[in-house]
Structures are given as structure tokens and as C-alpha cells.
Structure 1
């Protein structure tokens, strides 16, 4: 299923994944084990890989449906409100009694590097039954976005529903699993970063040769096209015909890389849903990721389509926040 945005309605994207509250502490550098340091500031920001990717796609112009769970706490109310404020359909986001919302503790260096600890909370309760109940929006979508901050059996069930309906499936395998259950990688596009590619292969990725080998191996395991994201070095696409394409990054001054990968995923889904070929969709996604990395906060930093097109037209003039 693909949609030409110029000829009809907005592309339809379904996201099955996590919804977290991020407690973000900005610091000069990350603390060492056993060390206490003084932070520069702290704030609460709506996040979670699933919700971030949903916001990224919605802000770029997609019609987005979120499938997930929040807790019965104040954070749950805030998180639902954040999604609704972006125009995201939340009819399949359930409130979970006697359970806290997902929480992420995010430490961000002034350089933009980060360290994140996630407490799943209600995300851990997202079930196979939940995605079956949401089969209408999954089957109607042009693209389904998946990550691994919810139970793997739920991710596999969502992927199976989508592929049976002809919906294209993109999996961002983060956090990388210690073991890969059968069926998890049976998707159309697999999009790990370097560390996730290494974990999925069980092999180091320390050189360009390692990178090419990792992409080939993941393609063999999954049967999918593979995109390995490389931060400020762009992305590597391994196509089904065995050919590899390197897509360069856009320049940016990184201040917070927390959601750059989520911006990439949301933008990639949007352009693929519009019928763009994969290399050009990656170029668009690289631009979205660069802009997100140059801004503070996960969802607040997600770019608009105008932002992305401006950077693509003139990489020397990044859009302001």
C-alpha cells in the first residue's frame, strides 16, 4: 500500500510502541560509575520511541494512529494530551489500571551525547490482544512502524497482521534484544543503528567492511532490506538485489541526539508511504534526523516538512527552532 500525497489524502501510518515520560537532565558530561555531578537543568518531556516516531511522522504531514498503553497516573494524562495535540489518533491507546506510565531517565551532555535508562511501566502490558483489537488501523495503514520497547510477542503479532494486509513494515530494533525470537525480523525494512546491528549479528562493527558484512548478514537472516543508521556519517542501505548504497548525512551542530533516530524512522515511513524510493526516503530521513539532533527535547525537537525541505534545498542554512 502506498499513497501519492499530491493526489489524495495524507499517507496513513500506524505505530505500535512505547509511550514514556522522559525526565531529562542536561549536564556538561555524563557521570562515571559511582560519581555524582551537578546538572545544568532538568525537565519533563513526552517521549518513548513509539510516541516519538508517531509525532515525527505526524508533524511531517502523515495521518498517524498510535497503538500503546499509558498508566493510570498523571503522566498518562499528559502523554495522551501530547499525542492528541499533534493530531495523532489515540483510540487504541489504553489506560492501564494500577500501573505507572513508562519512564525514561535521560542524561544529555552539552555535546549532544546521551545515556538513557527506561522503566517500561504500562508499555510492558501492551499485549497481542491489544494489537488484534487495533487490527483495523494496522490493516488500513500504508506503513507500520515498530520498535522493541514493548513485548516482542506483541511486535511480532502486529507485524504479522500488517504483512497479511499488505501494509509495509519497518522495524527499529531498539533496544536490541539479547536473543532474536523467530519471526521478529520478518519485516520489509530493518533499521538498526551500528550498535544494534552488532548486537543482532553477535559480531563487532568497527570498520566499513564490518558494516557491509553486518548489513548482508541481517538481510540474509530477515529477508528484509536493511538500513544501518550511522549518525553524522549518514546511512547504509543494503537492497534486496544485494547492492549497497551509502546515503550521506546532512551537517548539523548536535545538542541532543536522543530522538534523532526516531525522527529518521518517522520521516522514512512518511516518504515510503508517499511512494518514494528507498534511497531518496533515506535522504529525507537523514535531514529530519539532523534537525532533531540540533534541537533540545525528543518530541519538541521534531521538524516540520518545511524544515526538512529547507535543509535539503540548502544544507548550509539549517532551520531554526
Structure 2
């Protein structure tokens, strides 16, 4: 079950990302459905998990378009609600010829998920689903900190493991982050956490154990792009999951989301964290060979 963000992505394909003050011409443009929550829900569904997306869209036409697109991809959107007076989240994405991207997000309705949907309603859904089958709760840093807090409470009350992809790094404290069964960040987000919690500097392999200890979270996963990913727990030395070679990188947009959604799906299926990360690595590698977030 994904408590997450939904956006409309406006993507421009350029030769190089513009410098400050520079205007460049795009080779092509496209519009599609994005948002970390929606992207990860689609990835989890494609990995074989029955997937629900709980969140908010605007009461505009874009919100209904997002719902229809996600329904068509097999994601259950029963709990994706329109919020009166809000616009659906939107992201401006630029993708360079080498596949690198730059993204700006206007969260819109994603910051206004109704609290009653996250309180007794979510706890009931998790309890009902957990009684029937294995379940993982997944959310991201694109949500309001209050929403993340209520999600953590729901996970704790229902005894369901919570996977938190802290991208971007939300303004929440160590106590909340420590409630995540698995915390997933990329290398830049890891450095941000290291700065916020005053654990020093250094390469990811050095910082990751320090950050995990500072947050007291059971497991920390750091995605490192073409260098694979790093798994840190309290029970063993950090483990590296090597990346897969990709002949041609087309678009890195959504690759991290493909990784996280697949990771959560395989954890729900009973895989170990390392084995789930191996599957996630394959999904992330496949994602960069195609355009678009989903």
C-alpha cells in the first residue's frame, strides 16, 4: 500500500541542461503521469504486487486523468481522493541527451491528503489487508511532514512494516525516521541527512552507517546510480549490491522510483532485504533505457 504523491509530468528533452540564466531549445516534449508515489505504485504493480495508492489530487481534470491512467496500469486508486480547491501536483522535468535530468515539483494537492484518510481509515485498511496477506506500507518525502507522521502512526498501530523513501529530504526529525523499517535515500539525500544530524562527511560507505546509527532505523538503503546500492543494518557490515551494465542510458527520470517500488514489492513477497535490492537493481537498470517516469 502506497501513501504517496501524484503529479502531472511536463518533460522537455534537451541536448544539455541549461545553466542559470541560459535558454535552450528542446528537441521534444511530452506530458505524462508522475509523482514518486504514483511511479513507485506502478513499479510495485509491475513487480507482481497487488498495489493500492492512497493520496490526493486536485478537483481539476488533471486529477481524473491521473486516476484513469493509474487504473489502466493496474493500480487500485479507490483511496486516491480529489481535494476541493486544490490543483493536482505538477512537475517540470528536463532530460539531457546523456539521460541526466533536473526536476522542479509543485506539490499542489499532495500536501493536503485528508487526515481522516490517514487515521482510522488507513489503520483499518492495513489491518484488513495484513490479516489476508503480507503487506508493506510505502511512502516518500514529497508528502507533507504531518502526512508522514500519520502514516508512521498507522504503520505502528497495525504492525505493518513502513518503507520510507526520503526523497526529497522532508523536514522531519530523527524520531520519525527511526520508525521506518527501511529508509531509502540516494547519495545526495544521504549527505543532506548527514549534515542535518551532524555525523561528519566522507564517502557513502562511511556516512551510511553513521546516519543509520544517528536515526536508529533498522535498515538504511542508499542508491548510488551506476555504482549500485548500499545496504546498512545493525546486524552486519554494509553490503553493496552491484549495478547492472546498461548499454545506452536514455532517461534517468523515475529510475530511483522503479528501484523503490520493486524493493517494496519483493519485501511484501517475503524476500530478504538484499534479495529485494537485487530485484530492484534490475528494475532501475531497465527504467533508464526508456523515456518517462513510468
TM norm. shorter chain > 0.5 = yes
* Conserved 8 A contact 1:152-1:184: no
Q: Does 1:38 align with 2:25?
A: yes
TM-score by length of 2: 0.92
Residue in 2 aligned with 1:83?
Answer: 70
2:38 and 2:153 map into 1 onto residues whose CA distance is 21
SS in 2 for 1:55: helix
2:200 and 2:74 map into 1 onto residues whose CA distance is 39
Alignment: residue pair count: 284
1:281 and 1:260 map into 2 onto residues whose CA distance is 16
TM-score by length of 1: 0.84
Q: Does 1:247 align with 2:241?
A: yes
Q: Does 1:190 align with 2:183?
A: yes
Q: Give 2:253's match in structure 1, choosing from 258, 274, 285.
A: 258
Q: Give 2:210's match in structure 1, choosing from 211, 217, 235.
A: 217
Residue in 2 aligned with 1:304?
Answer: none
Q: Give 1:125's match in structure 2, choosing from 112, 115, 123.
A: 112
* Conserved 8 A contact 2:123-2:158: no
Q: Does 1:289 align with 2:284?
A: yes
* Structure 1: runs of 5 or more not aligned: 1-13, 300-321
* Conserved 8 A contact 2:199-2:210: no
Superposed displacement of residue 204, structure 1: 9.4
Residue in 2 aligned with 1:270?
Answer: 265
SS in 2 for 1:94: strand
* Conserved 8 A contact 1:138-1:158: no
* Conserved 8 A contact 2:8-2:89: yes
- Per-residue CA deviations over 1:233-282 (Å, capped at 9, x if unaligned) read 00011122141111101111211111000000111011111111111111
Cα distance, 1:254–1:185 mapped onto 2, change above 3 Å:
farther
Query: What are the within-5 Å matches in structure 2 for residues 8-87 of structure 1?
Result: 14-87=1-74
* Conserved 8 A contact 1:198-1:205: no
Cα distance, 1:183–1:204 mapped onto 2, change above 3 Å:
closer
* Conserved 8 A contact 1:187-1:222: no
Q: Does 1:144 align with 2:137?
A: yes
